[in-house]
Structure 1
Amino acid sequence: MEVVKSNSMIQSLQIGIGILEIIAEQNRPLKFTEIQELTGISKSNLYKYINTFVQSQILHRDSETGSYLFGSKLIKFGLVAADQENVLGRITPYLEMLSKKSNCSVTYSIWTENGPMVIKLYNSNGGFNIGVQVGTILPPGSSAGKIFLTFKEQPLISEWKEQELEGMPLEQREAFEQELRTIRQSEIAFAAEPIVQSVSSVSFPVFNHQKQLISAVAVVGFNGQIPKTEDEPLSQYIKEISKQISSF
């Protein structure tokens, strides 16, 4: 790893940023030995950097695999950068439209090392409690969870998916796998929410220009308010909004 020496820069900070850049370039969780090989930094020095990043939540260490990936602190930094580009600002009007059209709450979620996290909540009916708030981690069986299970491509998804499938009877497991295949084709997911009884949701993916998943939007309401199939009028409206958002 090459570092440009300059009296006007902090060399150790340069090295730390270089480590993060190398991890980002691989686009997958890395073990310590892989990072050491890619950076060429001595094990003792690299350990200090990695340990500092983990303690600062810039990196997250998976306790089972021992691999490192970006942590929640960098996600927060990313949200600030995204807000500067007004990405979420451009999406918010669509969340408002969905909430008013459906008379339900609408959530916007991104992926974290712990699962999908709600970072935006819009509710045109302020008195309705859907059981989630900004910062809530959504379970795999939620409609937004199913969107991430279907479209998010990274190793952690398989482990997170097993949490949902563990203990399922074979027939039910096969039905769930078939549901995910259907979601991949239709780009819309339905669920009876596991967080609050009598509450259901419908979700759709938000893609970037490379058709990579960046987030999920969910419309959440009482069972009678939420469609159960993609042929229903509200589902068709939601799919049209989805296309408009992902066309940014």
Structure 2
Amino acid sequence: MVKSSVTDEHVVKTSSTVKSVEVTVQILEVLTEATGAVRVTDLARQLGMTKARVSRHLQTLTHLGLVDRAREGEGYVFGRKLLKFGRAAVYRSNIVEISRPYLTDLCQQTGHTALLATPTRGGAMVVSSVPSQFEPGIMVHPGTVLSLPSSPAARLIYYYENQKPVPPRVIDNIKKYGVDFEANARGNGLGGIAAPIFEPDGLIASTVGIILSSSLLLPEPETSLLEMVKGVAESIQAEYAEGAVSSLKP
């Protein structure tokens, strides 16, 4: 009988630990989707829990550095340690590792800076790049955010995340070329070409592309450049999640 009691106690503790982990994940998911600091009251309402219970979890997460109090006003935001984990996860992700040799090949084939970007709030974040030796002035460092509406990478991610309104020209470019492109994207004489890569479930995983002089994109880019970008995207796709495609593909 004593042995059974000990076993039951172990099961209860294990169940309680698992539940605590689930609540932690739920809290972090809410903070991920939020555009700013989230108050305890709002967290409790969204999770269907009491404020006291949510507060206890937040105290633990704050102590661990996974959550921080907002600097201004009430509420909580992602902690610096969690951001550190997130950056490490992105830069060491499978798709980044897979893409490295392909980015080098794309840079060598086209003579232009090649880059891989993943979805981030408001656009696309560069997570890997290979600068062209012939264009020392064109360097895009990892962590750079490419924004709407000028960046082809950001536009593709926005479109395939089914956001509205759809940036101009994206659908026409995808239908005609299988990629998106834009000249003079930031008003600096540079432009870009980007192609999508999808997760196994069809969600957008990343984009691969090149940065180059706008003069090479006007009035229309060379077909060979578009095909090289598209071909590299297809090669990465085949290795990362072969056959995956978005239902939003026109």
Same fold (TM over 0.5): yes
**Distance (Å, rounded) in 2 between the aligned partners of 1:230 and 1:67:** 49
**Distance (Å, rounded) in 1 between the aligned partners of 2:134 and 2:222:** 29
Structure 1 residue matching 2:49: 3-state secondary structure: coil
% identity of equivalent residues:
19
Structure 2 residue matching 1:215: 3-state secondary structure: strand
Shift of 1:147: 1.1
**Distance (Å, rounded) in 1 between the aligned partners of 2:112 and 2:132:** 7
**Distance (Å, rounded) in 1 between the aligned partners of 2:219 and 2:76:** 39
Structure 1 109/83 Cα, relative in aligned 2: closer, same or farther at 3 Å?
Answer: closer
Q: CA RMSD in A?
A: 4.3
Structure 1 198/81 Cα, relative in aligned 2: closer, same or farther at 3 Å?
Answer: closer
User: Given the alignment of the two structures, is residue 109 of structure 1 paired with residue 121 of structure 2, yes or no?
Assistant: no
**1:22–1:39: 8 Å Cα contact kept in structure 2?**
yes
Shift of 1:189: 0.9
Unaligned stretches of 5+ in structure 2?
1-10, 241-250
User: Given the alignment of the two structures, is residue 19 of structure 1 paired with residue 10 of structure 2, yes or no?
Assistant: no
Q: Report what 1:173 is aligned to.
A: none
Aligned residue pair count:
218
**Distance (Å, rounded) in 2 between the aligned partners of 1:231 and 1:116:** 25
Q: Report what 1:172 is aligned to.
A: none
Q: Report what 1:200 is aligned to.
A: 191
Q: Report what 1:152 is aligned to.
A: 161
**1:209–1:246: 8 Å Cα contact kept in structure 2?**
no
Structure 1 194/181 Cα, relative in aligned 2: closer, same or farther at 3 Å?
Answer: closer
Structure 1 220/20 Cα, relative in aligned 2: closer, same or farther at 3 Å?
Answer: farther
User: Given the alignment of the two structures, is residue 188 of structure 1 paired with residue 179 of structure 2, yes or no?
Assistant: yes
**1:220–1:226: 8 Å Cα contact kept in structure 2?**
no
**1:201–1:219: 8 Å Cα contact kept in structure 2?**
yes
Q: Report what 1:166 is aligned to.
A: none
User: Given the alignment of the two structures, is residue 246 of structure 1 paired with residue 213 of structure 2, yes or no?
Assistant: no
Give 1:90's match in structure 2, choosing from 91, 94, 98.
98
Unaligned stretches of 5+ in structure 1?
162-175
**Distance (Å, rounded) in 2 between the aligned partners of 1:204 and 1:142:** 12
**Distance (Å, rounded) in 2 between the aligned partners of 1:23 and 1:183:** 40
Give 1:210's match in structure 2, choosing from 201, 214, 238.
201
- Which residue identity does 2:106 align to in structure 1? L
Q: TM-score, normalised by structure 1?
A: 0.66
**1:29–1:67: 8 Å Cα contact kept in structure 2?**
no
**1:102–1:234: 8 Å Cα contact kept in structure 2?**
yes
**2:155–2:170: 8 Å Cα contact kept in structure 1?**
yes
User: Given the alignment of the two structures, is residue 221 of structure 1 paired with residue 230 of structure 2, yes or no?
Assistant: no
Structure 1 218/237 Cα, relative in aligned 2: closer, same or farther at 3 Å?
Answer: closer
**2:159–2:167: 8 Å Cα contact kept in structure 1?**
no
Shift of 1:201: 0.8
Give per-residue Cα distances to partners, 1:201-240, cap 9 Å, x unaligned. Answer: 1011111122210111220011234576577111112212
**2:112–2:135: 8 Å Cα contact kept in structure 1?**
no
Shift of 1:97: 0.9
**2:117–2:208: 8 Å Cα contact kept in structure 1?**
yes
Larger radius of gyration: 2
Superposition pairs for residues 36-51 of structure 1, below 5 Å?
36-37=44-45, 39-47=47-55, 49-50=57-58
Give per-residue Cα distances to partners, 1:42-101, cap 9 Å, x unaligned. Answer: 214414645856x9576999x9xx999978865653554466664311111111111011
**1:130–1:196: 8 Å Cα contact kept in structure 2?**
no
**Distance (Å, rounded) in 2 between the aligned partners of 1:112 and 1:56:** 22
